[in-house]
């Protein structure tokens, strides 16, 4: 996905003291059924709204210097219900799944005849062009060039989507983007990244009112 946002005038700071709080939007009907939900604007379910409110309680103690949200309704509504006054950043949209938008992994695997995954095999062109995992990582990198300076002033919250936040976490940790495949993220969950002894680290991951019983499907 092309972008015209400028890079900052100064490089990212070293070892900022603030926390980076990641909030995945609450449940939607598509996330509930495991359908790949990229740029389609799907609203929260009633349970998704409850998860968003409960997430607000989890982040109430942070001192945010910056709060950003994806422009998609499910993220903006989650930020609102969590009590966060968020600025929209178009770079926080979910992975563009192209021709696999709205389809489940099970259905795609049945059609292809092998164990497809977006991280391993990528997506195809559809009504939208689709993105490679590296293109999503490029967007995440641009978000971090904005976020890291703000972390010198306080904590930062990002309200966005499962696959995007997993890839952003890989970039934050200075890992390959496909490392995101190994860290699942549930709807309505809160995760916290920080620096520990000068190294980027996970302080808390996939935390929420309900412990996951199985990996998230989307």
Question: Which residues have a catalytic role annotated?
Answer: 25, 94
Do residues 158 and 127 make contact, with C-beta atoms less than 8 angstroms apart? no
SS3 per residue for 129-183:
CCCCHHHHHHHHHHHHHHHHHHCCCCEEEEEECHHHHHHHHHHHCCCCHHHHHHC
Query: Which residues make beta-bridge pairs with 21?
Result: 157, 192
Cα dihedral: 154, 15, 134, 139 (round 10): 30
Query: Which residues make beta-bridge pairs with 160?
Result: 24
Do residues 82 and 52 make contact, with C-beta atoms less than 8 angstroms apart? yes
Gap between the Cα atoms of 90 and 68, Å rounded: 10
């Amino acid at each position: 996905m092309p972008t015209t946002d400028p890079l900052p005038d100064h490089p990212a700071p070293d070892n900022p003291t603030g926390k980076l709080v990641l909030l995945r939007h609450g449940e939607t009907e598509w996330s509930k059924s495991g359908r790949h939900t990229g740029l389609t604007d799907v609203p929260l379910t009633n349970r998704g709204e409850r998860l968003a409110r409960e997430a607000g309680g989890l982040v109430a103690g942070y001192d945010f210097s910056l709060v950003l949200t994806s422009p998609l309704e499910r993220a903006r509504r989650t930020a609102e219900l969590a009590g966060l006054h968020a600025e929209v950043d178009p770079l926080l949209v979910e992975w563009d799944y192209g021709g696999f938008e709205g389809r489940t992994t099970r259905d795609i695997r049945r059609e292809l005849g092998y164990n497809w995954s977006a991280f391993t095999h990528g997506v195809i062109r559809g009504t939208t062009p689709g993105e490679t995992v590296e293109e999503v990582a490029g967007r995440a990198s641009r978000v971090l060039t904005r976020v890291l300076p703000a972390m010198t002033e306080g904590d930062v919250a990002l309200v966005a989507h499962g696959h995007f936040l997993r890839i952003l976490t890989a970039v934050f940790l200075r890992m390959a983007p496909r490392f995101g495949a190994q860290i699942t993220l549930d709807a309505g969950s809160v995760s916290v990244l920080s620096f520990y002894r000068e190294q980027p680290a996970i302080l808390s991951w996939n935390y929420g009112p309900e412990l996951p019983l199985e990996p998230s499907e989307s």
